[in-house]
Amino acid sequence: MLYISRWKMLAIIATTLIVCSFAIPNFFPKEQVEKWPKWAQRHIVLGLDLQGGSHILLEVDSAAVRKEKVEALRDDVRRVVRENRLGSPSAVTVRGNTVEFRVRDGVDQKLALQKFQELSQPLGGLLQATGQRSIDVVDAGGGLFRLTVTEPALVERIRQSVDQSIQIIERRVNELGTVEPSIQRQGVDRVLVQVPGLQDPQRLKDLLGKTAKLTFRMVDMTTTPDQAEAGKVPPESELLRGSKSENGQPYVIEKRVVVSGEDLVDAQPGFDQRTSEPVVNFRFNNNGARRFAEATQSNVGRPFAIVLDNEVISAPVIREPIIGGSGQISGNFTVQAANDLAILLRAGALPAPLTIIEERTVGPGLGQDSIDNGMRAAWIGSLAVIIFMFATYGLFGLFANIAVAINVAMIFGILSLLNATLTLPGICGIVLTVGIAVDSNVLIYERIREEVRAGRSALNALDAGFTRALATILDSNITTFIAAVVLFYIGTGPVRGFAVTLGIGIVTTVFTAFTLTRLMVALWVRWWRPRTVPI
């Protein structure tokens, strides 16, 4: 056990040096590291709890997606009913996820069923046909048909919504000018947004929480807001409120959309030339410009409304036809509000509303405090352990301390190699590893002490001590490793950081116990040829 061949020795030293060297980039300023070759640019990422930042978990509003999907189906059914003269389109009703329709007497029910079934499409595309369809069509007898949006179709739609949302959120967050935001899907219907080093998470949340569905519509002049509030809203219009800066004033707005935000090609914040109040200047694409021009030409003198997420931003009167395809939105904005609206309009509307279901924000000040505290605790803890080990085992304690120091360096090396995230609990994991890493040495040394006591010679005792202790070291560390792995899978954020350092710490601990400590003792034996073990 104590004889280590030259090649093995070299392999051990080389492995240790290589692993430790991965930590090197962490000691250089970022700008310098960026000039290095790509493979050398590995570094530890500080967790949001250490560098400050926001962790925001958003969930797609499944109810809204469901509603939208069912309403789209209702419209489709109405169209089929109209085109095939199956009855009155207004007799199509919605109940939960189901659209119901009773065909009028004398209609060929087989034909009706066939027409309805044409609405249903196979799911999963051509490549991964699943045999599932988007809509269930049931002939309930007596001319009654029930069409239901299937669950897989809904899930598919939610999935798509999340994919689209991620792209839009990326565009919105990038406009904030933050460094390295991370936007990931979580599960089926969630998006995790992590933005480091943000001073004001409220602005981020405002940008994330808005669907930003912009529409230009005409104000319904056939009735007044007061009448509408009393319950008399014309069927083709709806009652909407003005934004807060408009004091929540009610408006009756036509449901028909003249132009929507999809037809915008650009939006920029600016100032009104006359009033010098902040506004958003926008430009339509050809299609939007044409329709906007037509609508303004035939409605001079009437007000139209700019509606964002069912809130009326402003309702100016059309003084002259707007044919250039560009215009401006004013609505008592502050500079930042105008700026944010421009960002939202440029990034596009979310396909479905997103709700914030979890937020964790740490300010930069607290993050720095945590780093300072964590490092201080790490130094003091390590120093205490080092002194104690030296007092207990003397020279061998020194070996153990060197092994532990290298152990910690290797943990940092592996963390860098994996570009892993270091969190405050992660620092705890490292400190704990220091306490535990010496355990492997303690196991070996105590075993050697025992063997010496049992009357073995120095060399014999050393050899037997290592051989017997190593099996135990492996056994005892695997249990903790299992706990670390489970913790990694169930944990989020900081806790995961703890699991990572704990797990890596166990691996490096076992490695150093099996190689470095043994190497040091072996070299010592070779050079000093001891007769007794100073332990």
Partner 1 sequence: MRIPLLRIVPDDTKFDFMRFRRISFPISAVLSIVAMLLFFTHGLNLGVDFVGGTLMEVQTKSGPADLAKMRSAVGSLNLGEAQLQQFGAPTDVLIRIPQQPGGELAQQQAAQKVRAALGDEIDVRRIEVVGPRVSTELLAYGIFGLLVAIIGIFIYLWFRFEWQFALGAMIANVHDLVLTIGFLSLMQIDFDLNGIAALMTILGYSLNDTVVIYDRIREMLRRYKRMSIADLLNISVNSTLSRSVITHVTVTLALLALFFFGGHAIHAFTATMLFGVVLVGTYTSIFIAAPILIYLGVGYGRQEADEPAPKEFVAEVADKAGAAKPAAAKR
- Restricting to residues 41-60, name those near partner 1 by CB under 8 A: 49, 57, 59
Question: Are 315 and 215 within 8 A, CB to CB?
Answer: no
Q: Does 309 bind partner 1 (CB under 8 A)?
A: no
Q: Does 355 bind partner 1 (CB under 8 A)?
A: yes
Looking at residues 182 to 201 of the shown chain, list those that interact with partner 1 (rule: CB under 8 A): 201
Q: Report CA dihedral (114, 120, 126, 130) to the nearest 10 degrees.
A: -110
Beta-carbon contacts of residue 502 (< 8 Å; ≥ 6 apart): 429, 432, 433, 480, 484, 487
CB 417 → partner 1: shortest distance, Å? 23
CA distance 317 to 96: 40
Q: Does 26 bind partner 1 (CB under 8 A)?
A: no
C-alpha pair distances (Å), 471 with each of 117, 166, 296, 466 = 67, 49, 85, 9
User: DSSP code of 303?
Assistant: B
Looking at residues 484 to 513 of the shown chain, list those that interact with partner 1 (rule: CB under 8 A): 484-487, 489-492, 494-495, 498-499, 502
Among 358, 526, 528, 530, binds partner 1 (CB under 8 A): 358
Based on CB atoms, which residue is closest to partner 1, 179 or 356?
356
CB 397 → partner 1: shortest distance, Å? 8
CB 136 → partner 1: shortest distance, Å? 28
C-alpha pair distances (Å), 535 with each of 361, 436, 445, 448 = 51, 20, 7, 8
Based on CB atoms, which residue is closest to partner 1, 63 or 140?
63
CB 376 → partner 1: shortest distance, Å? 5
Question: Are 329 and 306 within 8 A, CB to CB?
Answer: yes
CB 63 → partner 1: shortest distance, Å? 11
Among 178, 468, 514, 525, binds partner 1 (CB under 8 A): 468
CB 308 → partner 1: shortest distance, Å? 18
In this structure, how many other beta carbons lie within 10 angstroms of the beta carbon of residue 287? 12
| Listed ranges 38-46, 140-148, 151-159, 453-461: which one lies at the site for partner 1 (CB under 8 A) | 453-461
Q: Does 480 bind partner 1 (CB under 8 A)?
A: yes
Looking at residues 366 to 425 of the shown chain, list those that interact with partner 1 (rule: CB under 8 A): 366, 369-370, 373-374, 376-378, 380-382, 384-385, 388-389, 391-394, 424-425
The helix or strand, by DSSP H or E, that contains position 461, with its residue range, turns out to be helix 458-490
The helix or strand, by DSSP H or E, that contains position 139, with its residue range, turns out to be strand 135-141
Q: Does 478 bind partner 1 (CB under 8 A)?
A: yes
How many residues belong to the site for partner 1 (CB under 8 A)? 81
CA distance 464 to 449: 10
